[in-house]
Amino acid sequence: MSDDFNMSMRKFLKQVGVTSQQAIEEAMREQDTAGKTFKVKAVVTIEELGLTHEVDGEIKGQE
């Protein structure tokens, strides 16, 4: 793949990671999350390519 493709993909994924982490941290600060585990799902779509990619996981609240 081209350097432009790789750079644009990495930029997008970095933006997803950073902004998602900020949003999750903010939401968890607003509630008592100690000892609780939360199911989480991330969905990436590219409509023009018919792509939907889902990642499921868990995030444990701070003690």
Q: What are 13-58's pLDDT values in tens digits?
A: 999 999 999 999 999 999 989 999 999 999 999 999 999 999 999 9
> Percent helix, strand, coil in the chain (nearest 5)?
50, 30, 20
pLDDT of residue 42: 97
Nearest Cα residue to 58 out of 37, 42, 43? 37
pTM equals: 0.82
Tokens linked to 42: 């991330």
Contact predicate 15/21, CB 8 Å: no
CA 6 from chain center: how many Å? 19
Nearest Cα residue to 38 out of 52, 18, 23? 23
